[in-house]
Structure 1
């Protein structure tokens, strides 16, 4: 066995040769590129999954002259009766002008009603009408069916894994609000365990 305390022969160095360092550089670059390609593949899968996830509902929305913004408003108001306009703005992250246009159309066509708050008359609270409920439920059923098929095809544990992944994709500052809004099961409340994304140098 080599003596760990022995010195290298005279004229030699323990430092890696320049050639070895140069050989290692392409290998490290290949690893970095492989990791980048893997993550890009995930981004592309998200693109195609979202494209098809929304396509089913898009076909129905077109029949009403509506777009995805109308769908999102209907969905969250249907799930949260009495939702404040201010909260809806925060959820959708769109301008007041954009939301005003969408709400006006939904209200004018009888899908949503707007009421003043009981305690604060300045508040505007949103509710779906029976007509709005029917459309929101129809759109949800189309998307739920696709999700159900995908989870079944992905195998055991896919449901929880998908929720954890999607929750981790949300900006840390918004996770508590989203958790409360969508009624995420406590078993999947990973807020305290998620690591903050690290900046790459």
Structure 2
């Protein structure tokens, strides 16, 4: 195999490992394992069928735990996001009141009877209103920056949580799968007297 081909395969492997599979992807893997384990070849005399019967629910248990852990990470993020978002409600209400008041002062100019009075109202009130809207824009930008910074921090926490959930799943599921493969070729294997620990 050429050096370039090796580099391409290593790059693909690195990208694959770096991504945290979603529960749907894990469920797909679990379904594939189930199909393989129920194939005629696996049920033949060459393999110990008791191993399949014993380890299949254990493998599914690891998948279910990963799904639960992944969901817990997402639920924690959603709860933290709701708290952060609600903490900015007062600032938003204050800006809304300010902007509404400024805009209403200009809209009131339209209610004046004569065109001359309406033009005068807009001419005198416009510069002040413009400054007030500009200040509101600055405050909104500052609030958005602060909110997004806090959200970014909890998003990082969610990502770390999901990566840890996947690492735990990958280790436990992998160990369980290796144990199953080891016993498939062992005709003397019998059901353990104690349950396998998930």
TM bucket (normalised to shorter chain) is 0.3 to 0.5
More helix by share: 2
**Greater share of strand residues, 1 or 2?**
1
Larger radius of gyration: 2
Q: What's the TM-score once normalised by structure 1's chain length? A: 0.33
TM, length-normalised to structure 2: 0.34
